[in-house]
Amino acid sequence: MSLVVADREGAAGSAEANDLAAAALVRGLVGDGAAVVASPGSRNTALLLAFDACPEAELHVLLDERAAGFFALGLARESRRPVILCCTSGSAAGHYTPAVMEASESGVPLVVVTANRPPERHHCGEAQTAPQAEMFAPWVRASRVLAVPDETLDPRRVLA
C-alpha cells in the first residue's frame, strides 16, 4: 500500500489533507490494535503522527529500514498477527525487501505502507522516487496506490 503525499509546501495537496488521509488510513489499518514498526522520513511524517496519536497502535520506531523490516517480521511471527511496516519514499522501501520476501515465503503477515512523492514528481530525476507500487510484486498478495489527498477528500472514503 502506498500513500502519495503532498509536499508540506502544498505541491499536490495540502498538509491538512495529508493529515486527514493519514488519520483515516491509520484508523482503518489499526482497528482494535496493531503493532506498527516505522522508519521515519519526511514523506511519511503525516502517517507517523497519525500512528503516534492512535492509542490502539503499538508504535516501534527504528531508523534503519532493513532492521525495521526484520523486527516487524519477528513481531508478526511471535504474535501471529499482522504487523504494519511504514516508511518514507524511494529507496527506503527497497530496504524492506528482504523481510517482505521472507514473510511471504514463510506465510507471516506484514502490511507495508510506504509514502511516495506525487506522480508528477516521478521519472524526472527527483531524489527518493521509485516504482513503489510494483516494488514488492513477487511477494505480496495485494497492492494499492491511494490518490493524492486534497481538500475534497472525504476521510471516510480513504479505505473504500
Write down the domain spans for the chain.
2-149
Asked whether residue 4 carries a pLDDT value surpassing 60, the answer given is no
Average pLDDT (73-86) is 97
SS (H, E, C) 98-141: HHHHHHHHHCCCEEEEEEECCHHHCCCCCCCCCCHHHHCHHHCC
Average pLDDT (92-104) is 96
For domain 2-149, the question of CATH label 3.40.50.970 is answered with yes
Encode pLDDT of 13-31 as tens digits: 577 888 888 898 999 999 9
- What pLDDT, on the 0 to 100 scale, is given for residue 8? 40
pTM of the model: 0.83
- What pLDDT, on the 0 to 100 scale, is given for residue 9? 42
In terms of pLDDT, which residue wins out, 144 or 137?
137
State the average pLDDT for the chain: 84
